[in-house]
A and B are shown apart, each in its own frame.
Chain A
Amino acid sequence: MKTRLFMLATLMSGAMLINGCSSMGVEPWDRDVLAKEEMQLTTDAIEAATDDHIYFSKEASSGGRGFGGGGCGCN
Chain B
Amino acid sequence: MSDTDKRSITGALAAATCTLLGANAGQPVQAQEDPGWDFNTALLYYGEDDDRVQDLSVSLLARRTFVDDRVLSLGMTADVLTGASPSGALPQGFPQTFTRPSGNDAYGIDANLLPLDDTFRDTRVALTADWQQPLGRLYQVNVGASASREYDYTHFGINGKIARDFKQRNTTLSAGVALARDRLDPVGETPIGLTPMLNVGDLSNRTGAEDKTILDVVFGVTQIISRDLLVQMNYSYSDSSGYLSDPYKLLSVVDGVSGETIAVAQTPGVGGPSHLYLHEHRPEDRAKHSLYTQAKYYMGGKVLDVSYRYMTDDWEIDSHTIDLRYRWPLADKRYIEPHLRFYSQTEAEFYRLSLTDGDPLPAYASADYRLGDFDALTVGAKYGWTTDSGNPMSVRLEFYQQSGNVAAEQLIGSQVNQDNYPDLSAIILQFGYQFGN
**Chain A interface residues (CB < 8 Å from chain B):** 2-3, 6-7, 10, 13-28, 30-47, 49-50, 54-55, 58-73, 75
Contact = CB atoms under 8 A, between A and B. Distances in A.
Contacts of B64: none
A29 to B, nearest CB: 10
B14 interface: yes
A65 B182 contact: no
Contact of A58 (B30, B182, B233, B424): B424
Contacts of B396: 47
A33 B370 contact: no
Given A6-B289, A33-B298, A65-B292, A46 B152 contact: no
Residue from A43, A44, A45 with most neighbouring chain B CB atoms (10 Å): A44
A26 B298 contact: no
* Chain B contact patch, size range: 35 or more
B40 A45 contact: yes
B423 to A, nearest CB: 12
B363 interface: no
A49 B176 CA distance: 17
Contacts of B137: none
Given A50-B42, A68-B216, A10 B235 contact: yes
A70 B303 contact: no
Interface of B: 10-11, 13-19, 21, 23-26, 28-31, 40-42, 44, 46, 57, 59, 61, 75, 77, 122, 124, 126, 146, 148, 150, 152-153, 155, 157, 159, 167-171, 176, 178, 180, 182, 184, 212, 214-216, 218-219, 221-228, 230, 232-236, 238, 240, 246, 287-292, 294, 296, 298, 303, 305, 307, 309, 311-315, 317, 319, 321, 327, 335, 343, 345, 348, 370-371, 376, 382, 394, 396, 400, 402, 424, 426, 428, 430, 432
A65 B294 contact: yes
Nearest to B41: A46
A28 B170 CA distance: 9
Given A17-B18, A45-B61, A70-B182, A61 B153 contact: no
A59 B290 CA distance: 14
Contacts, number: 251
A25 B26 contact: yes
A28 B396 CA distance: 35
A64 B321 contact: yes
Contact of A71 (B17, B26, B148, B168): B148
Nearest to A13: B17
A16 B17 contact: yes
Given A21-B171, A59-B376, A67-B176, A50 B236 contact: no
Contacts of A64: 234, 236, 290-292, 309, 311, 321
A63 to B, nearest CB: 5
A24 B376 CA distance: 36
B210 to A, nearest CB: 11
A70 B221 contact: no
Contact of B370 (A28, A54, A59): A59
